[in-house]
Amino acid sequence: MAVKLDVAVAPLGRDRVFKGCSLVTCDEKVFSDASTLAREFAAVKNDVAGRVMPVVTAVCAGNAGDDGTYRYFMGDEVEKRGGNKGLEELLVPAGTLVAVVPVKFHMEASAALRAAQVRQAFYDGWLPGSCYECASDELGFADVELYHYRKRRFRRAKKMVLNLMFVLREKTGA
């Protein structure tokens, strides 16, 4: 099934700062470590001060090192850097060129699968045909999953929203 992408590329107008926790993992352990990381973040989530409202939670896998391990981060967006002692920080600085792609899904249970499909369509389809390239070497990661909830119109329920934010730069010599 072809995935249709709605890609918006622009430099960030402000720092995006996330506070939370991380662990070191590898591709063989990432699925079991994801639940461990979620539990660890749930234990410290109430300690995050200065959250941006509505709450936006970031999940990000860093670039793999020579040994195949990488930092796997989960945290909530905060107003500014600093504070929140004991928590780790993920920063996407103002001016960073990013592509934001909404991930559409019908049930929360299918969100991870749809995110993987959108990520693959972006890297294998959209990116090679664009005037951009991945800039993962600049920040130590290629993309960030951004989760938040919106109130549904005319309903009391909330709907989870997922966007992927890809770190880019313009291609040189193209």
Given 3.40.50.720, 3.30.499.10, 3.40.309.10, 3.20.80.10, which CATH number is that of 8-170?
3.20.80.10
Question: Which residue type, as a one-letter code, is found at position 134?
Answer: C
Q: Please give the pLDDT value at position 110.
A: 73
What 8-state DSSP symbol labels residue 2?
Answer: P
Instruction: Please choose, from the candidates 52, 164, 154, 144, the residue with its C-alpha nearest in 3D space to the C-alpha of residue 102.
Output: 164
Is it the case that residue 174 has pLDDT exceeding 60? no
Lowest mean pLDDT among 16-25, 40-49, 73-82, 165-174: 165-174
Q: Is the pLDDT of residue 157 over 90?
A: no
Alpha carbon 92 to chain centroid, angstroms: 10
pLDDT of residue 11: 97
How sure is the predictor about 170, in pLDDT bands with cuts at 50, 70 and 90? very high
- In whole angstroms, what is the distance from residue 54 CA to residue 170 CA? 31
- pLDDT confidence of residue 152: 56
Please give the pLDDT value at position 3. 82
Looking at the predicted structure, is the pLDDT value of residue 155 above 70?
no
pLDDT at 158 over 80: no
- Tens digit of each residue's pLDDT (9 = 90 or more) over 99-154: 999 998 877 777 888 899 999 999 999 999 999 999 999 999 999 999 997 765 55
**pLDDT value at residue 111:** 81
User: What is the spatial distance between Cα 152 and Cα 158, in angstroms, rounded to a whole number?
Assistant: 6
Select from 22, 5, 8, 51 the least CA-distant residue to 165: 8
What are the sequence ranges of the domains in the chain?
8-170
On whether the CB atoms of residues 51 and 58 are closer than 8 A, the answer is no
Bridge partners of 158, per DSSP, are 151
Q: What is the pTM for the complete model shown? A: 0.90
pLDDT digits (tens, 9 = 90+) for 14-60: 999 999 999 999 999 998 999 999 999 999 999 999 999 889 999 99
